[in-house]
Structure 1
Amino acid sequence: MMKSRSWRWVVCLLVIVLGAACTPSEKRTIRVAIGTQNATINCATGGLLLRELSLLERFLPREGAYKDVEYEIVWKDFSSGPPITGEMIAGHLDFGMMADFPAVMNGVASQQAGKRNVYIAALSGSAAGAGNGILVPIGSPVHTMADLRGKRISVAFGSTAHGMLLRALSDLGMDPERDVTLVSQQPAEAEAALRWSTIDAHAGFVPFAELFPFRGIARKIYDGAITQIPTSHGMLVRAAYAEEHPEVVVGLLRAVIEADRLLEQDPERYSEVIEQVTGVDAEVAYMFHGPLGIQTRDVALKPQFVHGLRVAADTLVLLRRADDHLDIDHFVDDRYVRQAFEAAGVSYEERIARTAKVPITGADALTGAPIADPKRAAQIWVEGETWVRPYGSPASALAARRKLGAEGRQVRAMFVHDRHTGLKLLAEQAWYAEPPDGDLAAFLSRDYAETWARERKGAVKQLAELKAEPAPAPQPPPR
C-alpha cells in the first residue's frame, strides 16, 4: 500500500514539473520610445503620420526572435530638440527627431555623458538651407539683416534657427554678443512678441518662419536659403538600443519610408491631417510637403545633409557653443536606413542621387499651357477644393485669383516662387517686379525685386497693388 502511494506522489511530481516546463513563458516586451516634434511639421514622416496612420505597428518585426514580442510604443511630443536630448541621455527615449544643429549638440552631450547616440536617417531638408527664417513685426521698418544691428532678436536657444541666425550674423561681420541682443524665446512666446512688437525680430525654425507670416502677424526678411548651407531634420537613436534591437530600428525606418511615399502621393490630404493634430494650418504644411516645397523629404542620408551636420559641428566650436568636437563620421550611421530601403525594394543609391524637388505637373489651370519653369510657377488652393490648382506664372495665377473673386470664390492660399532662389512664397508676402513686358517676377527680398525691376525699367509692387488682366487662352497648333 505504501509503495503504491509513493508511486502516486512520483507521478504527481512529474506532472507538475513537466507541466511547468511546457507552460509558455511570458512574452518579452520591447519598448519603442520616440521623441517627436509634431509642430515642427517636416518631422511628420518620423512621428505624427506614423502614429496617426498606425504605420509603425505594420513594420515592426514579428518573426523569428520577435515572434512572441509585445511592443510598448511610447510617443512624447516636444517643442524643440534640446529637451529630447536630455530624455535620450537619461534613457527615457530610444529615438529622437530634431534638426542638424540640435542633433550635433545631442551627439556632443551624449559623449560627454559617457554614452553614444547616432544619427541614422534624414526626414526632411533643404540643400540650400531653406526652412528657417528671420521675421519682423508687420509694421517694422526693418527690411534687411543689416537693419538689425543694435536690435533685440529672439530665438529658441539650441535650435537650428539659432544656428542659422549665428551664421547669418557672422556672414555680415556682426558679433552676436556685441552687435545685437539675443533673447531665448520658444515659438509660442515669439508669436505674441511679434504681434505686439515687443521684440525687433525673431529667428524661427520650421514651420514658424512661414506660419507667422501666413497668420498675418509677421513679415519674413531673411530665409536660411540665403546661406546656401544645407539644413535638415533627422532621426537619432541610442546606439546601445540599436545594437540590441537592430531589426526594430529598421522596422521604424521602413515605416518612415512608407509615410514619405504617402505624403508625396497626396500632400493636400495629409497636410489636413497635420493641421488636425498640430493646429499648424494645412496651407503652411503644404508649403513644405507639396510640389516644389520649401524642403524635400529625404530619408536617405545624402552627402549634402551630412555636410550640413559638419558645418553645424564646426559652427558650435567656432562660436564656443560646445566644448567638445563631434566626429561626424562616427556620429552618422547609415547601416539601418540602407537595410530599410533594401527591405522596401527601393534603391538606396538612386535615392541618394535624387536631388530635384517633386515638380508641379500638368497644365496651367487658367490657360492650359504646360508648366515649364519652376521659378515662374504659382499655385492657388481654393476654398472647398481638394486639390491645389497649378499655374505657369504669377501673372496667370493673379488673373485666376481675380476671376475667382468675381465668381465669389474664396482663396485659401496663393503661392509663388522666388525668381532668384525658387523658394516657395506666400503671394501676399512677396515683392513683385513688374516690367513693361508683363513678365511678373516674385521675390522674398524687396532689394532683389528692386534690382530686377530697375534692370528692366519696371516697378516694384506688392500683391494688393498689382492689376493683372486675364491671361490669353492658348491657341490650337496650326494644322
Structure 2
Amino acid sequence: MHFKKTLAALALVFGSGILQAETIRIAIGTQDTTINCATGGLLIRELKLLDKYLPKDGKYKDAKYDIAWKNFTSGPPLTNEMVADKLDIGTMADFPGALNAAAFKKAGKKSVFITALSGSPQGSGNGLVVPIDSPVTSLAALKGKSISVPFGSTAHSMLLRALKAQGLDPERDVNLVSQSPEVGGSALQGHKIDAHADFVPFAELFTYRGFARKIYDGAQANAPTFHGTLVSAEYAKKYPEIVVAFLRAAIEADRLIAAEPEKYSELIAKVTGIESEVNYLFHGPLGLQTRDFTFKPEYRTALKTAIETLALLKRNDVPLTADEVIDDRYIREAFKLSGLDYDKQLKSYGKLPLVAKDAQSAVTIKDFNRATQVWVEGEPKVRNYVSPESALFAVREAEKAGRKIRVVFVHDRQSGLKLLANQAWFARSPNGQIDAYLEKDAAEKSAQKSGGTVVNFASTFASSTAKLAAR
C-alpha cells in the first residue's frame, strides 16, 4: 500500500510538473488620499483591474493568487512594512521613495522604482497655504513667521528651495516646524501657524474646504516632483510577469480616467472622502500634475535631489544613487504589451489635453491659459469655456435657472497653472477682459499695465456662486 502511494505521488509530481498549485502573494501598499497615485492603487483595486492581467499560463498555469491591499496615509509606515516583507509593492513620492530604498539597502535588500505615476517636471503638486483670513499674500511676507511642513517630504524640499530663492535662510529667517497634513490643517484653522507647506492634495484640499488660501505653488520653485511605485527587487526578479501585470493594470486605469475624469473623480471621492472637485483639479484636462508613467530626466533629478537633501537633513547615511533606485525595464515591457511606445512618451511633456469648444458659443478653445471650466451641480460633465468672461455669463445664466455651481476652474494667465477660481486673483482690464492669477502681486502688475483693477472671485462672479469663496 505504501509503495502504491509513493508511485501516485511521483506521478503527480512528474506528470503535472508541480506537486501542488503555488499560492503567490501580491501584497500592495497604497496611499489613497494621495490622489495623484490613484492609477497605481485605488483605481486598480476598486475596478479589479489586476485580475485581468495576472499571468495564467506557463509557469503560472496552476498558480493561485493571494492579493492583499493595505492603505496608508504616508510613506514611512508603508516602507516599514515593505522592509519587513509584509508588502511587495508600494506607492509614494520621490522623498519617501529615497528613504524606502535606503531602508532596504540598510537591511541588505533592494527596492526599485518601477514606474512614475504622476508628477510635474516644474514641481506643481506641492504648495504653500496660509489661513484664509491671513494678510500674507506672498512667500516673502513670511519672514519671521512659523511655517510647518512634513519633514523629509517632497514638500519639504520644495519649501527649502523656495525660501532660498526668496533670499530667506530656512534656519534663521523662518521657524520651520514638522507637521503632518492632518496636524497642519488643524493648526491652520486654529491660527497656530502662519503657513503650511504640503504635498498632493493638501494645499488644494485645504483651500477648497475654505480655511486656507494658496499663495505659492511648487512650480514656482522649479523643483521637479513625482509619485511612483516601488517593488522589492527580489520579488520583481522572482515574479517579473506579475510586476508587468500590475503595470498593465495601471496603464488601463490611466486610460479610463483620461476618458472619463469626472466619473472617476467621483469614485475617488467616494473612497477617500476627498471632494470630486479636488480630484478633477489633478486628473482632469490640463490638471495640476501630469499622469505620466515614464521616467523623465526631471524625475530622475527629483530623486537625486531627494537623496542629497535627505543626507543633508541627516535622515540617510547610506550611499545611494537615483540610477540604482530606478528600474524602467518592467514599465517598458508593460508599454510594449499594451501597444504603447515608451520612448515616444518619454519625450512628451503634454498634460491631458483639453479638446473642447465653448459650451456657450461653440468656439474652439485654443488659448488654454484663459480656458475656464464650470461644474454645475447635477451635470455629469464639466463645462468648458474660452475665457473667464464667457464662463461668467454662463454661470449667471445657470443661477438664474436655479442651478448651483459646484466649482469653477481657471488658469494662471502667465504659467497656465490650473486654479480654483474662488481663491484666484483677477485682473479686469477696461475693455472687460478678465485674467486669473495665483499671486495678488502678479494680478496687480497686470492691472496696472492695462489700466484696470484687481478683483477677487466674490466680486467677479454672481452672488450665489460667491458663496464658494466662503468655503
CA contact 2:152–2:310 (8 Å) conserved in 1: no
**Distance (Å, rounded) in 1 between the aligned partners of 2:147 and 2:342:** 41
What is the alpha-carbon root mean square deviation over aligned residues? 1.6
User: Is the 8 Å Cα contact of residues 95 and 307 (structure 2) preserved in structure 1?
Assistant: yes
User: Which residue of 418, 430, 435 corresponds with 2:424?
Assistant: 430
Q: 1:258 aligns with which of 252, 258, 275?
A: 252
Q: Does the CA contact (< 8 Å) of 1:82 and 1:159 recur in 2? A: no
What's the secondary structure of 2:356's corresponding residue?
coil
Contact kept? 1:313, 1:325, Cα under 8 Å: no
1:306 aligns with 2:311: no
Partner residue of 2:271 out of 277, 287, 293: 277
Q: Is the 8 A contact 1:359 1:374 kept in 2?
A: no
Compare 147-156 and 336-345 and name the one that shifted more. 147-156
CA distance in 1, matches of 2:313, 2:165: 13
- Which position in structure 1 is the counterpart of 2:171? 177
Report the counterpart of residue 15 of structure 1 in structure 2: 4
Residues 161 and 223 in structure 2, CA contact (< 8 A), matched pair in contact too: no
Matches within 5 A, 1:94-133: 94-133=88-127
Contact 1:124 1:298 survives alignment (8 Å): yes
Match of 2:339 among 338, 345, 348: 345
Code of the residue aligned with 1:200 in structure 2: it is: D
**Structure 2 residue aligned with 1:47, among 41, 44, 47?**
41
The answer to whether residue 304 in structure 2 is matched with residue 315 in structure 1 is no
Residue 463 (str. 1) matches residue 463 (str. 2)? no
1:236-278 deviations in Å (ceiling 9; x for gaps): 1111111111111111111111111111011000001000100
* Aligned length, in residue pairs: 457
More moved, 67-76 vs 164-173? 164-173
Match of 2:72 in 1: 78
1:35 and 1:75 in contact (8 A); partners too: yes
> Which runs of no fewer than 5 residues in structure 2 stay unpaired?
463-471
* Structure-2 residue corresponding to 1:33: 27
Instruction: Choose the corresponding residue for 1:452, options 430, 440, 446.
Output: 446
Deviations, residues 126-184 of structure 1 (Å, cap 9, x unaligned): 12110010111111111111222222222222222122112212222333333222222
Letter of the aligned partner of 2:57 in structure 1? E
Contact 1:81 1:159 in 2 (8 A): no
- Structure 1 residues 77-476: aligned runs within 5 Å: 77-466=71-460
Secondary structure in structure 1 of the residue aligned to 2:305: helix
Q: Could you tell me the TM-score, scaled by structure 2's length?
A: 0.94
Partner of 1:376, secondary structure, is coil
Identity %: 54
Q: Which residue of 2 aligns with 1:6?
A: none
> Match of 1:371, SS?
coil
Instruction: Kindly provide the CA deviation profile for residues 205-236 of structure 1, in whole angstroms up to 9, marking residues without a partner as x.
Output: 11111111111111001110101222110011
Deviation at 1:362, TM superposition (A): 2.0
Note the alpha carbon deviations across 1:98-142, whole angstroms, 9 max, x for none.
Answer: 111211222223223322111110000112110010111111111
Q: Secondary structure at the match of 2:369?
A: helix
Deviation of 1:304 after TM superposition, in Å, equals 2.2
How far apart, CA to CA, are the structure 2 residues paired with 1:330 and 1:127? 21
Compare 106-115 and 215-224 and name the one that shifted more.
106-115
Shift of 1:13: 4.4
CA distance in 2, matches of 1:173, 1:86: 37
Contact 2:131 2:189 in 1 (8 A): yes
CA-CA distance at 1:339 after TM superposition: 0.6
Computing the radius of gyration from Cα coordinates, the structure with the larger value is: 1
Q: Post-superposition shift, 1:14?
A: 4.4
Q: 1:191 & 1:304 partners in 2: Cα distance?
A: 30
- Provide the C-alpha distance between the structure 1 equivalents of 2:448 and 2:211, rounded to a whole number of angstroms: 30
- Please tell me the residue identity of whatever aligns with 1:448: A
Q: CA deviation at 1:318?
A: 4.3
Q: List gaps (5 residues or longer) in structure 1.
A: 1-11, 469-479
Deviation of the 1:463 alpha carbon: 1.2
